[in-house]
Amino acid sequence: MLNQNMEKAINDQINAEIYSSYLYLSMSAYFDSINLKGCSHWMRIQAMEEMTHFKRFYDFLTARGGRVILAQIDAPPSAWDAPLAVFENVLTHEQLVTGLINKLIDLSMELKDHATNSFLQWFIDEQVEEEASADEVIQSMKLNANNPGGLFIIDKELMQRVFTPPVGVTL
Q: CB within 8 A of 169, min separation 6: which ones?
A: 52, 55, 56, 59
Nearer Cβ to ligand FEO, position 44 or 53?
Answer: 53
> Using an 8 Å Cβ cutoff, are 85 and 31 in contact?
no
Site residue total, ligand FEO (CB under 6 A): 7
For ligand FEO, which is the closer residue by CB, 41 or 53? 53
User: Whose Cβ is closer to ligand FEO: residue 127's or residue 151's?
Assistant: 127
Among positions 94-113, residues that touch ligand FEO (CB under 6 A) are: 94, 97
* Site residues (CB under 6 A) for ligand FEO, limited to 33-72: 50, 53
Report the distance separating Cα 119 and Cα 115, nearest Å: 6
Tell me the one-letter amino acid at 126.
E
Interface with ligand FEO includes 20 (CB under 6 A)? yes
Contact 113, 6 (CB under 8 A): yes
Contact set with ligand FEO (CB under 6 A): 17, 20, 50, 53, 94, 97, 130
